[in-house]
A and B are shown apart, each in its own frame.
Chain A
Amino acid sequence: MKHPLALAISAAALAFTTTALADAPQQGGTVNTIVQPEPPGLVLGMIQNAPTRVVAGNIYEGLLRYTTDLEPIPQLAESWDVSDDGRTYTFHLRENVTWHDGEPFTADDVVFSADVFHRELNPSARAVLQHVESIEATDEHTVVFTLIEPFGPFLLSFEAGTFTMVPEHLYAGTDFRNNEHNDHPIGTGPFKFANWERGTVIELVKNDDYYEEGLPYLDGVNWHIIPDGGSRAVAFENGTIDVLPSGTVENFDIPRLSEMDNVCVTEEGHEYFSPYSMLWMNNREGPTADKRFRQAVMYAMDREFARNVLWNGLGKVPLSAFGSNARFQDDSLEPYDYNPERARELLEEMGYDGEEVTILPLPYGETWTRWAEAVQQNLREVGINVRTQATDVGGWNQRLGDWDYDLAFTYLYQYGDPALGISRTYLSDNIAKGSPWNNVEGYENARVDELFNEAATAYPDEEREALYKEVQEILHEDVPVGWLMELGFPTLYRCDVKDLVNSSVGLNEGFRDAWLDR
């Protein structure tokens, strides 16, 4: 069954392409949108959380952008070469780029950003940089990265949010976190920081010196801060807000809002992150340590119901550890369909004695709370004694970091390549207390470790594919975590905002090409 909203989205996408072709972009106008929650700061590279990315992605830039098919396209790097052994990457930079303060952007900025700034501050960049042997500026506009050994997903690592370019002339030699420019971020992007009224609005204005001729079309973007979901919906309804980024209104509001006149919806713009929702299951102790119990949980959950009722029919019910946007997915595996009978059998087989199992919802809003309730009820109906532990973000982090849970909701970004976004969940050397983002479930399988490690550095892709196929089979059988859903996040906007989403990070850099047909 296809949910009505999902149908609406494909129709809108069609309409969108036709009108986009018909009209020529117009200059001018300001778009009002929303950022939720209020970001802690705007210096991308120092802070990588979602609200910072969505605002600062329009101020800062990376070397590359990615199409919705995750193909790299130029941003600050005009072109790039990869050596045959897959160890040397040479980037040729644009020559006419200046920082917002007027200083030119050069290869030294790249070396500083990658080798100094990100190594110190940025954990996700750090994970990639551990494969890098050296970074050199061979001339003012050329940078060479030399890797220790081939690293398949290396070219996917240069997105603005993960690998931001920061101005060396302002940051070199300073205490980065207390740098005076943190209050007034300086980037190379299409918009400049203008004003931030805490609790109310962040205002960006057009960068007149932007290197892409004619861009941006808009005069500015205002990011409103409205803490209540209901108020955000009202603001969109009464026309104050033009664009509702994904996740800023509750899923339950989306069908109603999308049915309004002059409102368009798109599900695109999340391909790079491919948020994948999972159910951590503690592999260390309790009933969840038993593989049969974990399989029973997979059979007990009605994931189609959740997709249809809670997610408006958007997203995909996943097959296994690899999402559909991930490279090397093996789609021949047999899905864990909703089958309470099978779940009960498995529980009986393992001799489940009714021991209480706790479930930790993700404290990110109503949809997640409802979902936890649905799963709780699903599990109860096959005879599992479940109790929900309510918590806030702090408690959730703490419990996962301390492995103090039985079942817990989460979602993780996949970053396109299994070596970037997937292996981290299953590698045993990634088991460490204190973080909710590593191998939190405590799954240990030597063969899986071996396969993942080999695949990351194998070259070329055919070799990687074979290794990943075996990993997927093992994981599918072991169910180290529950695979809930590949999330579909719709972006709602007035149809007269054109060319809004055109890359795999969507709104994070969407206003670069956007224009108003008013």
Chain B
Amino acid sequence: MSFFARFAQNRGALVGLIILLMIIAMAILAPLLFPESPWRMVQRPFLPPLSQDGFPLGTDTMGRNVAAGLMHGAWVSLLIGLVSTSVALLIGVPLGAIAGYYGGLIDDILMRFTEFFQTIPNFALAIVLVAIMQPSVTSIVLAIALVSWPPVARLVRAEFMSLRNREYVEAARLVGQTNTTIILRQILPNTLSPIIVLASLMVATAILLESSLSFLGLGDPNVMSWGYMIGAARTVIRQAWWLSFFPGVAILLTVLALNLVGEGLDDALNPKLSRER
């Protein structure tokens, strides 16, 4: 069975993929449909949804177009999710690979280091990091990455530990391949499926984290992200429910879609599990 056929067997995953594609389309189409800056104050503030043409989702506290913000925000939220996950992978994968492959003292040191990071509550650490670096897209991405790499390192380490004594790895060692080649060519490609699955869930978590940070006022004020929109609308939730409702739903759908896709990938990449479902 082809990869996609296996993926599509999970109906939820298919739905998730469709939602995700729609959100990506939103992000790509944003500059075409709403060429004006989403920050522009274009109408009366607090215009309810559907009350005026061109403002299907109404306007916010300062008369900015919510629909424009939502579309532009898709781009930012996805980008923050993807980039921070990539950075987390860049930290976690090499650490986990080295710890898992070499074992022994190196493993001990790296794993103590990882545990150490996990001893400080995640969200608290993220808050402190953003506050220290001062809120900006860069600092938010870094903070999210810095609190999310330990699970990656642990996963990769576990995979490497179970694979490093596989016979094909030993065979590679026997024919004289170097450690680097073995790590990159023999083991890493075989750890990709669980990493991909984890990564898809991490993107979701990163989007949630960004929105939580924004909610506490630690978002980047220069970019319109969904988290920012909820954070900004939080004080007016009583008089303008739609301001926090739509971005909230957008986050929910995105996180939901990413999770569904993650499950689908899991099914498709790890056929053993799919039989159990």
Contacts and interface: CB of A to CB of B under 8 A. Distances in A.
Contacts of A376: 39
Interface in A385-406: 387-392, 394-395
Nearest to B63: A309
Contacts of B220: 390
A377 B40 contact: yes
A231 to B, nearest CB: 11
The residue in B40, B220, B237, B238 that gathers the most chain A C-beta atoms within 10 A of its C-beta is: B238
Contacts of B222: 387-388
B221 A392 contact: no
The residue in A253, A255, A373, A374 that gathers the most chain B C-beta atoms within 10 A of its C-beta is: A373
Interface stretch (B13-21, B88-96, B117-125, B131-139): B131-139
Nearest to A308: B45
B232 interface: yes
A383 to B, nearest CB: 13
Interface in B127-156: 131, 134-136
Contact of B221 (A256, A390, A394): A390
Given A361-B221, A389-B134, A395-B134, A380 B236 contact: no
Contact of A309 (B40, B62, B237, B239): B62
A376 B62 CA distance: 13
A237 to B, nearest CB: 9
A256 B239 contact: yes
B61 interface: yes
Given A305-B41, A309-B45, A389-B134, A230 B221 contact: no
A233 interface: yes
B134 A390 contact: yes
Contacts of B236: 250, 252-253
A229 interface: yes
A233 B236 CA distance: 10
B135 A377 contact: no
B198 to A, nearest CB: 30
B238 A369 contact: no
Contacts of A233: 238
Contacts of A388: 221-222
B221 to A, nearest CB: 4
B175 to A, nearest CB: 55
Interface in A302-322: 305, 309-310
A284 interface: no
A252 B219 contact: no
Contacts of A372: 221
B217 interface: yes
Contact of B62 (A370, A394, A395): A370
26 contacts: A229-B235, A230-B235, A250-B236, A252-B235, A253-B238, A256-B239, A309-B45, A309-B63, A310-B62, A366-B232, A369-B217, A369-B232, A373-B39, A374-B41, A374-B62, A377-B37, A377-B40, A380-B37, A380-B39, A387-B222, A388-B221, A390-B218, A390-B220, A391-B134, A391-B135, A394-B131
Interface of A: 229-230, 233, 250, 252-253, 255-256, 305, 309-310, 361, 363, 366, 369-370, 372-374, 376-377, 380-381, 387-392, 394-395
Across the A-B interface, the 8 shortest Cβ-Cβ residue pairs: A390-B135, A250-B235, A388-B221, A252-B236, A390-B221, A366-B235, A377-B39, A256-B239
